[in-house]
A and B are shown apart, each in its own frame.
Chain A
Amino acid sequence: MLFSSITFLYYFLPCVLIFYLISPKKLRNTVLLISSLVFYAWGEPGYVLLMAAGIMNGYISGMLTEKFRGRAASKAVLAVSSAVSIGMLAYFKYADFFIENFNAATGLSVPLLKIALPVGISFYTFQILSYVIDVYRGEAKAQRNPINLACYVSLFPQLIAGPIVRYSDIAQQLEQRTHTSEKTAEGIRRFILGLAKKVLIANALGELCGIYSESDEKSIVFSWMYAAAYSLQVYFDFSGYSDMAIGLGKLFGFDFMENFNYPYISKSITEFWRRWHISLGTWFRDYVYIPLGGNRVSKLRWLGNIFVVWLLTGFWHGAAWNFIIWGLYFAVFLVIEKLFLLEYLKKSKILSHIYVLFAVIISFVIFGASDINSAAECIRDMLGFGDIPLISAEQSYYLRSFGIILIIAVIGATEFPKKLVSGFEKTRYGKTVTAIAEPVFLGMLLLVSTAYLVDGSFNPFLYFRF
């Protein structure tokens, strides 16, 4: 089920909220668990059992890891549990990728498995891994209540597209959490803004990207328009989803970590990745980079660690070479920055912004391409080497038609709107005006987003495939 659907907004969510609010506190996790299973089964009825198997693996492993703590058996349990989790991910997400490449390398024709990718498997697998590792490290106690653990793994607000919530961050909240008017109102604000980011902006940009992809007639401006629109679409789609997830979490008393912090205002790629998909970056830092030794090793090994992490980061996003290249592409920038470039970037804000935007936009061309060749073609066209016109009449139409949404998206990707509102609130009547305008504005956003959903028939999230 999608957050941005009539079914979720007006059928599922109100029912869950009512059941949650009328339930005694000790049953609230059970209500959330049942709701989450319905939510998941709505889109993937067959894969509920797979998720349940993953949860069981986590539950048993957590108990055993704790029981054998300090002994070799604890490490063995962790190894087996991790192998099971990673094995599930490898089988369901990467099997065909490995077979295809094996066939290409050997000339054999091993048949593909053609397994449908279980929605959210990358997210909930990482959460199960995080739980077992946290228990192994002693950073969290094993969860004895299977409902609480199942609730953590399957919690519908963050089940299918994150943020990836670390068990140690949420363990306390699973047992006891507070509900205040402040938290609830903040949850509503985040959810509605996220919904609008997804429905009104990301989907419109997606329409433009779709036009580009289907068009045989390319031009330099059109290629740039696509690259910029796609970069913004991914941001508004994913950060909108994260806002909705964080907002829903607050409605149910949870505080999830932030996942985005205006990444497009970054002045280096290092900073960009501190602001983009923060929960994934944090996960790889804590569970891969630091265990590999981080930067407290020889320079060569340190650089190697960076490449390993970014190879995995790229591969996590999808079972295709363009994702691997995308990850390694960032590894190259990060290494160069760490070795010497960061010092230079501090000298000019404008140039450093241009550098980041150019590098990131190119990266998303690689990310969004169906294969390496089409990514290369698009980049070639953007750089003017494609023997194509500057712009055609058709593309000029699209530029005019999507011009306002592109401008809104660019401004919305910066801190400007937030600063504008907080600046206005500091004026004499600012607080009163915004207090009155806010519910009207949020109500309008909900109604307009609903209008778009009613008018549309298909509304997929980009990050579903991850």
Chain B
Amino acid sequence: MNGKNRNIIVIAVMAVLLFGMSLWSWMKGADEYSESERRILADFPGITADSVESGAFMQDFESYAMDQFPLRDKFRGLKSFSELSVFRKLDNNGLYPEDGYISKTEYPLNEEMLDYAAERFRYIYDNYLSDKDMNIYFSIVPDKNYYTAPETERLSLDYSAMIEKMREKTEYMAYIDITELLEKEDYYRTDTHWRQEKIIDIAEKLASEMGAVLESEYTVNELDNPFYGVYCGQLALLVEPDTIRYLTSETLEQCRVTSWSTGTEEESVLYNMEKAFGKDPYEMFLSGSEPLLTIENPNADTERELIIFRDSFASSLAPLLADGYSKITLVDIRYVRSSMLGNFIEFGNQDVLFLYSTLLLNNSMAMK
């Protein structure tokens, strides 16, 4: 092949790529939402004299161009592949697949965030719990990296330091250690969360430490919908989806769930089948993000009640504790101000469990 032909081929190939992708970018309609990243995508910015003069239009256009680029997820996947398989980086944006499990290298330990979380817990204790005859418990849910990092020599939080610090700062609570009961198989391969069918022993351990008795026999139900967890979308690589399984029992079927997500009392469900087939199927457990809800068990052998201050890990766990309590109140202080709790909850002689994942404790700025 002579030099001229070689040059023409180079020009032709690159022209097709450059002008082809350019034309596609111009012609392609804007997508509103990224399913894989679970976020709203930037739309074409409005042009005004002010926005051009201030540079806001240009900045917004850059975001638009990246967000709306054709085959965006495929390109993100190509980047992940390149990082992990070509450049052999040990993680891509903090995520790494290993042995079929995608984990996130949550790192390093953020002391300020731990202090802030502890300060929020102290606020709740001082204002609602300290003058009551209540048993208060605290348990930390380790993230998946707790189990996968040592196997793969990845970075991980100093979990001992985290637990020690949180225990020191929450001396008014009895700490329940559940780390020994978990292993990586108890988590979804593609998601942050743990699998409900794998945490019955966790519920039993917590109940036992709190003096409650769980006797239910569960039936395992399988959701007929592939579950591509949040890590799957973030990594943008093709991986086998998870399957969501959820537990039912006679007790759970009788339970009444009430939500205050709109500010007023509304009937809700333990397992929200609409959300099971929605954007994030894990939200089927207690309908996902809820500031305040209750699970009432009319067949309970006890009058005892439990208040759980929690994050999303408790959504799949709390139903498994229903057997031991007549009423469980779940509070997520990311969505309701701690100072408002007195308006919704009558604090008395309930058991109280603070159940938080290491992920949220290390990023606690959302706690109110």
Query: Are B10 and A454 within 8 A (Cβ)?
Result: no
Known contacts A397-B154, A404-B87; is A446 also within 8 Å of B18 by CB? yes
Interface band, chain B: 35 or more
User: Chain B residues with Cβ under 8 A from A181's Cβ?
Assistant: 4, 7-8, 11
Which residues 37-61 of A sit at the B interface, judged by CB distance below 8 A?
42-43, 45-46
Asked if B208 CB lies within 8 Å of chain A CBs, one says: no
Q: How far is the CA of A10 from the CA of B27 in the complex (A)?
A: 12
Asked if B127 CB lies within 8 Å of chain A CBs, one says: no
Asked if A442 CB lies within 8 Å of chain B CBs, one says: yes
Query: Contact string, B142-154, partner A, CB cutoff 8 A, digits 1/0?
Result: 0000000000011
User: Chain B residues with Cβ under 8 A from A452's Cβ?
Assistant: 79, 82
Query: Are B78 and A184 within 8 A (Cβ)?
Result: no
Query: Are A185 and B88 within 8 A (Cβ)?
Result: no
Nearest Cβ in chain A — how far from B112, in angstroms? 13
Query: Are B155 and A46 within 8 A (Cβ)?
Result: no
Asked if A403 CB lies within 8 Å of chain B CBs, one says: yes
User: Chain A residues with Cβ under 8 A from B82's Cβ?
Assistant: 200, 448, 451-452
Query: Are B18 and A447 within 8 A (Cβ)?
Result: no
Query: Contact string, B61-88, partner A, CB cutoff 8 A, digits 1/0?
Result: 1110110010010011111101000011
Query: Are A9 and B18 within 8 A (Cβ)?
Result: yes
Asked if B17 CB lies within 8 Å of chain A CBs, one says: yes
Closest B residue to A216 using CB positions? B108
Query: Are B90 and A400 within 8 A (Cβ)?
Result: yes
Interface centre among A189, A192, A454, by most B CB within 10 Å? Answer: A454
User: Chain A residues with Cβ under 8 A from B62's Cβ?
Assistant: 5-7
Asked if B345 CB lies within 8 Å of chain A CBs, one says: no
Query: Are B11 and A185 within 8 A (Cβ)?
Result: yes
Known contacts A10-B22, A181-B7, A451-B76; is A442 also within 8 Å of B14 by CB? yes
Q: How far is the CA of A443 from the CA of B17 in the complex (A)?
A: 7
Q: How far is the CA of A442 from the CA of B6 in the complex (A)?
A: 13
Closest A residue to B80 using CB positions? A455
Known contacts A43-B58, A439-B10; is A10 also within 8 Å of B78 by CB? no
Query: Are B21 and A401 within 8 A (Cβ)?
Result: no
Query: Are A45 and B55 within 8 A (Cβ)?
Result: yes
Query: Are A435 and B1 within 8 A (Cβ)?
Result: yes
Query: Are B87 and A451 within 8 A (Cβ)?
Result: no
Q: How far is the CA of A432 from the CA of B8 in the complex (A)?
A: 14
Contact of B7 among A184, A443, A446 (CB under 8 A): A184
Which residues 321-363 of A sit at the B interface, judged by CB distance below 8 A?
none
Asked if B9 CB lies within 8 Å of chain A CBs, one says: yes
Query: Are A446 and B11 within 8 A (Cβ)?
Result: no
Asked if B344 CB lies within 8 Å of chain A CBs, one says: no
Interface band, chain A: 35 or more
Nearest Cβ in chain B — how far from A159, in angstroms? 16
User: Chain A residues with Cβ under 8 A from B3's Cβ?
Assistant: 182
Interface centre among A6, A408, A443, by most B CB within 10 Å? Answer: A6
Known contacts A45-B53, A454-B79, A457-B66; is A404 also within 8 Å of B88 by CB? yes
Interface centre among B1, B22, B52, B55, by most A CB within 10 Å? Answer: B22
User: Chain B residues with Cβ under 8 A from A188's Cβ?
Assistant: 10-11, 14
User: Chain B residues with Cβ under 8 A from A11's Cβ?
Assistant: 22, 25-26, 65
User: Chain A residues with Cβ under 8 A from B9's Cβ?
Assistant: 435, 439
Query: Are A443 and B13 within 8 A (Cβ)?
Result: yes
Nearest Cβ in chain B — how far from A367, in angstroms? 26
Query: Are A182 and B88 within 8 A (Cβ)?
Result: no
Closest B residue to A448 using CB positions? B82
Interface centre among A11, A13, A432, by most B CB within 10 Å? Answer: A11
Query: Are A405 and B11 within 8 A (Cβ)?
Result: no
Query: Are B65 and A7 within 8 A (Cβ)?
Result: yes
User: Chain B residues with Cβ under 8 A from A189's Cβ?
Assistant: 10
User: Chain B residues with Cβ under 8 A from A457's Cβ?
Assistant: 63, 66
Contact of A397 among B8, B26, B93, B153 (CB under 8 A): B153
Query: Are B13 and A42 within 8 A (Cβ)?
Result: no
Asked if B198 CB lies within 8 Å of chain A CBs, one says: no
Known contacts A181-B7, A454-B72, A454-B79; is A6 also within 8 Å of B58 by CB? no
Query: Are A443 and B14 within 8 A (Cβ)?
Result: yes
Known contacts A397-B90, A454-B69, A454-B72; is A7 also within 8 Å of B61 by CB? yes
Q: How far is the CA of A452 from the CA of B22 in the complex (A)?
A: 17
Q: How far is the CA of A328 from the CA of B52 in the complex (A)?
A: 42
Nearest Cβ in chain B — how far from A253, in angstroms? 14
Query: Are B21 and A450 within 8 A (Cβ)?
Result: yes
User: Chain A residues with Cβ under 8 A from B90's Cβ?
Assistant: 397, 400-401
Closest B residue to A207 using CB positions? B89
Nearest Cβ in chain B — how far from A46, in angstroms? 7
Which residues 170-213 of A sit at the B interface, judged by CB distance below 8 A?
181-182, 184-186, 188-189, 192, 200, 204
Asked if A453 CB lies within 8 Å of chain B CBs, one says: yes
Nearest Cβ in chain B — how far from A364, in angstroms? 23
User: Chain A residues with Cβ under 8 A from B55's Cβ?
Assistant: 43, 45
User: Chain B residues with Cβ under 8 A from A431's Cβ?
Assistant: 1
User: Chain B residues with Cβ under 8 A from A387's Cβ?
Assistant: none
Query: Are A42 and B58 within 8 A (Cβ)?
Result: yes
Query: Are A451 and B75 within 8 A (Cβ)?
Result: yes
Q: How far is the CA of A436 from the CA of B10 in the complex (A)?
A: 9
User: Chain B residues with Cβ under 8 A from A439's Cβ?
Assistant: 9-10, 12-14
Query: Are A450 and B1 within 8 A (Cβ)?
Result: no
Contact of B10 among A9, A397, A438 (CB under 8 A): A438
Asked if A70 CB lies within 8 Å of chain B CBs, one says: no
Query: Are A185 and B7 within 8 A (Cβ)?
Result: yes
Which residues 1-54 of B sit at the A interface, judged by CB distance below 8 A?
1, 3-14, 17-19, 21-22, 25-26, 52-53
Q: How far is the CA of A432 from the CA of B1 in the complex (A)?
A: 6
Which residues 367-417 of A sit at the B interface, judged by CB distance below 8 A?
394, 397, 400-405, 408
Query: Are A394 and B155 within 8 A (Cβ)?
Result: yes
Nearest Cβ in chain B — how far from A234, in angstroms? 20
Contact of B75 among A46, A405, A450 (CB under 8 A): A450
Asked if A14 CB lies within 8 Å of chain B CBs, one says: yes
Query: Are A46 and B66 within 8 A (Cβ)?
Result: no
Query: Are B14 and A14 within 8 A (Cβ)?
Result: no
Asked if B106 CB lies within 8 Å of chain A CBs, one says: no
Asked if B91 CB lies within 8 Å of chain A CBs, one says: yes
20 A-B pairs (CB sep. < 8 Å): A1-B58, A7-B62, A11-B26, A42-B58, A45-B55, A181-B4, A182-B3, A182-B4, A186-B7, A189-B10, A394-B155, A404-B87, A432-B1, A439-B9, A448-B79, A451-B75, A451-B82, A454-B72, A454-B75, A457-B66
Additional A-B contact list (5), CB under 8 Å, known A10-B21, A454-B79:
A6-B25, A45-B52, A192-B14, A439-B13, A447-B75
Which A positions have Cβ atoms within 8 angstroms of B? 1, 5-7, 9-11, 13-14, 42-43, 45-46, 181-182, 184-186, 188-189, 192, 200, 204, 394, 397, 400-405, 408, 431-432, 435-436, 438-440, 442-443, 446-448, 450-457
